[in-house]
Amino acid sequence: MGISIGLVIGYFFFVYFQSSDVKDPAIRPLVEQDSKTLQRILPEIPLWVKNPDYDRVDWLNRFIELMWPYLDKAICKTAKNIAKPIIAKQIPKYKIDSVEFEELTLGCLPPTFQGMDKLIHDDKGNATISNDGATIMKLLDVVHPVAKILVDIAKSQD
């Protein structure tokens, strides 16, 4: 009984004592906003939204993030192997006893990619840069029958 009375009194206060200084917001489509207002409303728009010529490559960023500890070690080892002979040639010129790498790292944060375009070369030497799947499919010279079916399906989606 007490809960029922409390709900009725609460509803009464809610309906009759609403704040009068609250105004309905003016809602306008984003298309009608100027660029400064859009940047204030949406401060961190990803590049693939701002520039539609980018493909999203979140999958690549996730892969690199998972593999970064291993990639860091491999890249640093390769860099050391390339740099050591070059440095060894230069040591006598400058009368240095030795140069050693104590530790080499690229850091704990992997690089990130914001977008990707594809560069396609054909047999005639023409180059096309695109991220549009339909354009890429038109440029492919597919021989395998199953691959042709997949290309036809992709073209029909356009």
Question: CB count, 10 Å around CB of 12?
Answer: 10
pLDDT of 134 reads 66
C-alpha dihedral, 60 to 64 to 67 to 71, nearest 10° = 130
- Dist. CA 118–CA 35, nearest whole Å: 30
pLDDT of 157 reads 60
pLDDT tens string 90-121: 888 888 888 888 888 999 999 887 766 777 77
pLDDT of 78 reads 92
pTM comes to: 0.42
Is residue 118 packed enough to be buried (19+ CB in 10 Å), middle (13-18) or exposed (0-12)? middle
**pLDDT by position in tens, the chain (length 158):** 778 888 888 887 777 776 667 677 677 776 677 777 767 766 666 555 555 555 567 778 888 899 999 999 999 999 999 998 988 888 888 888 888 888 889 999 998 877 667 777 777 888 887 776 667 777 777 788 777 777 777 666 65
Q: Are 42 and 50 in contact (CB under 8 A)?
A: no
